[in-house]
Amino acid sequence: MSVLLIRHGLTQGNLERRYIGCRTDEPLCGAGAEALKKGEYPPVRRVLVSPMLRCRQTAAILYPQISPEIVADFRECDFGRFEGKSYAELNGDPDYQAWIDSGGALPFPGGEAREAFIARCVHAFESVEDLWRQDTAVIAHGGTLMAIMQAHALPRRDYFDYQVKNGQGFRLFADGKWENIIF
């Protein structure tokens, strides 16, 4: 048995390279929905999703025959004051520069610390009852998948090593082995 970890489809905020976290319940853009429809996703028997609209829409496109289970703590990070802004808009902001200089280790001003976010996502993943008993898809956010992979994938890698494009992801096995999946 395995768990597919799939990043939601493309949104307008993704196209504009904005920080879109848990405060913006943004839908998929047209191109994002169309790209998902062209992919060939492995069959699963269970779908777990972030409560965010972009994830629920992705699940409905990829697995329309399965009623998804919402996992509240699979939601994206709270980017605080950076929410909805792009690098260009934040360039020159001393708080943003301090966050960049910290390698993303500082908490987002008015938002969530990366370590708290990772702990939230990993705890949610580990709390799913009977996770490994049937092939399951987790449809969530890039950061959520990065947190889960950092905690469970072998060999261990850094959080940022698990970045993945929209509509793509990983297949994770119970023993920690994994593979990139490009749909």
Query: What's the rounded Cα separation, in Å, for the pair 163 and 167?
Result: 12
CATH of the domain at 43: 3.40.50.1240
Give mean pLDDT, residues 122-138: 95
Give the per-residue pLDDT at 182.
Answer: 80
DSSP letter string, 67-100? PPEE-GGGSPP--GGGTT-BHHHHTT-HHHHHHH
Query: What's the rounded Cα separation, in Å, for the pair 59 and 55?
Result: 6
Residues 6+ apart with CB under 8 A from 31: 10, 15
Quote the longest CA-to-CA distance of the chain: 49
Domain range for 142 is: 2-181
Residue-wise pLDDT tens digits, 103-120: 999 999 999 999 999 999
Q: Is 131 exposed, middle or buried (CB count within 10 Å of its CB: 0-12, 13-18, 19+)? A: middle
Residue 50 confidence (pLDDT) above 80 = yes
Give the per-residue pLDDT at 29.
Answer: 98
Residue 183 confidence (pLDDT) above 80 = no
Q: What is the pTM of this model?
A: 0.95
Give mean pLDDT, residues 116-144: 96
Which residues make beta-bridge pairs with 131? none
What pLDDT band is residue 80 in, cutting at 50, 70 and 90? Answer: very high
Q: How many CB atoms lie within 10 A of CB 135?
A: 15
Number of domains in the chain: 1
Give the per-residue pLDDT at 181.
Answer: 86
| Short-list 64, 61, 76, CA closest to 140 | 76
Q: What is the mean pLDDT of the chain?
A: 96
